[in-house]
């Protein structure tokens, strides 16, 4: 063995690099069985992050647990003895991040583990934490609020970050919240989610936040004015997320010299644009790196004001990510995110012109730009070129991907060439184009020798197209690494109709484009 592999730090770095590869678990497991020097580093990285508790339960002897005959949930069938748990405890000590439920878990984790598993573990643990070295806990046991009584099993003395959900009438999570600050002084990151926030929730969260000096990452539904004022003075606060649905007063009273002195990432959600513009105006931390905003059917004039405030209060060289998403309810009571959505307002007031985006062109360091307002983008090839030249470091550019375009796009296939030429690192691009313009039957469009092999996914929304083979040839030549063509999914149902709609003609043609791209990629590979 080479001497460098005898240095433990190097082996850990190799294992951590492997963990960034998709489907890395089999690789790490194989590496652990290769050599004694690799065993512990590979297993430590393999067990460091668990999407659910199932892998730990499976470390118990096979005769201790079995899938339930009705629900397929894992259940404990016999008492757990200390002698049965050596593998369980060995691997539990390696866990640093654990999720119970949530989007990243297998079937949301909760459904695959029966409640009696937690009951048995709770009795066996005798009040002790089962994962003593845990640093991050994400607790979202959907449809099983009673599971909160077992959360102590996963709250270790080294806990630094916790995320959990509070239901409409739940009291137990509030009791947990009140005691977190005292019992876990190392806690620095707090995330609380609630889909039916009440005054009781806001008061409880605010009372805990006040005087909690160690927090550096706060993501909560809302805060009282005095709690907001306190949060704004925290010297170590780097991440703040507020998802309030009503206007929040009080930011105008904050001194710009004192507010948010070290903030790096800001996420805001509100039905009124005045809330997030007031927050931005109060920020003294000009080196903001990430800005995410969730609005509610924002007209053009509100976006102009917001982007101008961003230009004025954010450092043009430090901002790396900016996203703006709109939510709205159509007349059927559903979110209007499909081609069949109905609008009860004048869409002309929501058209996004190049002038609206002009303040953002000064931020040359942007890596991700994700803008999804309810209105359509009215851009041309020249506007796209301006963006490509202004943002040369882009990896992701998304200009509308959930709402249907209400105006015929003026960007053509040739409008994509500046993005390929100037944005060398672009990996994801979503933009509505007119793939018919400039296309002459039987003649492949000229690419001018521009090539960019980094782009993997292209979103085209409801873009019009007529010649899929020619379009596929053009895109394959300009973006040889292109894998996926994403269209706007048709809206499912209208409340009474339960049948799934078929593909639109343009979606079928774009599907053929993806097929042609795969063929062209195969031909290129054969020619090498």
415 contacts 384 by C-beta, under 8 angstroms: yes
pLDDT tens profile 60-73: 888 888 876 665 67
What mean pLDDT, rounded, does the chain reach? 83
pLDDT of amino acid 369: 97
3-state helix, strand, coil in the chain (%, to 5): 40, 15, 45
pLDDT of amino acid 339: 43
137 contacts 146 by C-beta, under 8 angstroms: no
215 contacts 189 by C-beta, under 8 angstroms: yes
pLDDT tens profile 227-237: 888 898 888 99
The bridge status of strand 65-67 relative to strand 74-76 is: antiparallel
pLDDT tens profile 332-362: 333 444 444 445 556 677 889 999 999 999 9
Residues 15-32, mean pLDDT to the nearest whole number: 87
Lowest-confidence pick of 208-222, 352-366, 419-433, 493-507: 493-507
Round to whole Å and give the CA distance between 127 and 150. 10
N-to-C CA span, the chain: 36
Lowest-confidence pick of 11-25, 152-166, 238-252, 308-322: 238-252
The alpha carbon torsion through 328, 331, 333, 339 (nearest 10 deg) reads: -70
- pLDDT(268) > 70: yes
pTM over 0.85: no
User: CA separation (Å) from 14 to 36, 93, 331?
Assistant: 15, 21, 54
Beta strands in 300-394 (DSSP E): 321-327, 368-372
Beta strands in 35-112 (DSSP E): 49-50, 65-67, 74-76, 97-101
Residue with the bigger pLDDT between 404 and 153: it is 153
Residues 6+ apart with CB under 8 A from 438: 412, 413, 414, 445
Residues 6+ apart with CB under 8 A from 519: none
334 contacts 497 by C-beta, under 8 angstroms: no
pLDDT of amino acid 406: 61
313 contacts 338 by C-beta, under 8 angstroms: no
Residue with the bigger pLDDT between 449 and 291: it is 291
385 contacts 357 by C-beta, under 8 angstroms: no
Lowest-confidence pick of 88-102, 376-390, 471-485: 88-102
Lowest-confidence pick of 98-107, 278-287, 398-407: 98-107
């Amino acid at each position: 063995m080479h001497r460098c592999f005898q240095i433990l730090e190097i082996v850990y770095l190799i294992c951590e690099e492997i963990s960034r590869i998709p489907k890395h678990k089999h690789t790490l497991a194989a590496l652990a069985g290769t050599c004694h020097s690799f065993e512990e580093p590979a297993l430590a990285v393999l067990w460091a992050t668990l999407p659910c508790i199932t892998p730990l339960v499976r470390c118990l002897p096979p005769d201790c647990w079995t899938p339930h005959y009705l629900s397929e949930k894992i259940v404990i069938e016999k008492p757990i003895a200390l002698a049965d748990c050596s593998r369980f405890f060995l691997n539990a000590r390696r866990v640093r991040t654990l999720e119970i439920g949530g989007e990243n878990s297998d079937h949301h984790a909760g459904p695959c583990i029966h409640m009696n598993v937690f009951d048995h573990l709770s009795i066996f643990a005798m009040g002790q934490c089962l994962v003593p070295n845990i640093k991050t806990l994400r607790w979202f046991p959907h449809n099983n609020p009673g599971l909160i009584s077992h959360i102590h099993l996963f709250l270790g003395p080294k806990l630094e970050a916790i995320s959990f959900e509070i239901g409409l009438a739940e009291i137990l999570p509030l009791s947990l919240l009140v005691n977190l600050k005292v019992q876990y002084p190392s806690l620095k990151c707090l995330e609380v989610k609630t889909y039916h926030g009440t005054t009781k929730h806001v008061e409880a969260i605010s009372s805990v936040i006040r005087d909690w000096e160690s927090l550096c990452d706060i993501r909560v539904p809302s805060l009282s004015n005095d709690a907001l004022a306190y949060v704004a003075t925290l010297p170590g606060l780097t991440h703040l997320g507020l998802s309030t649905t009503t206007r929040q007063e009080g930011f105008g009273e904050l001194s710009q010299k004192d507010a948010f002195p070290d903030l790096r990432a800001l996420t805001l959600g509100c039905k009124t644009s005045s809330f997030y513009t007031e927050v931005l105006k109060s920020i003294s931390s000009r080196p903001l790196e990430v800005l995410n905003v969730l609005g509610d059917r924002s007209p053009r004039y509100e976006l102009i004001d917001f982007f101008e405030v961003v230009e004025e209060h954010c450092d043009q060289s430090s901002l790396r990510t900016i996203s703006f998403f709109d939510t709205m309810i159509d007349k059927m009571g559903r979110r209007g995110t499909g081609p069949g959505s109905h609008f009860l307002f004048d869409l002309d007031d929501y058209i996004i012109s190049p002038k609206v985006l002009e303040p953002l062109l000064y931020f040359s360091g942007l890596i991700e730009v994700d803008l999804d307002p309810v209105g359509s983008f009215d851009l041309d090839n020249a506007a796209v070129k301006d963006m490509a030249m202004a943002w040369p470091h882009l990896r992701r550019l998304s200009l509308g991907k959930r709402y249907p375009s209400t105006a015929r796009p003026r960007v053509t296939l040739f409008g994509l060439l500046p993005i390929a030429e100037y944005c060398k690192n672009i990996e994801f691009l979503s933009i509505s184009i007119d793939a018919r313009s400039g296309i002459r039957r039987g003649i492949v469009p000229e690419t001018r020798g521009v090539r960019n092999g980094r782009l993997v996914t292209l979103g085209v929304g409801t873009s019009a197209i007529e010649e899929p083979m020619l379009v596929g040839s053009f895109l394959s030549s300009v973006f040889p690494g292109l894998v996926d063509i994403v269209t706007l999914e048709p809206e499912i149902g209208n409340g009474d109709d339960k049948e799934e709609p078929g593909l639109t003609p343009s979606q079928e043609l774009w599907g053929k484009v993806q097929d042609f791209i795969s063929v062209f990629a195969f031909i290129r590979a054969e020619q090498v």
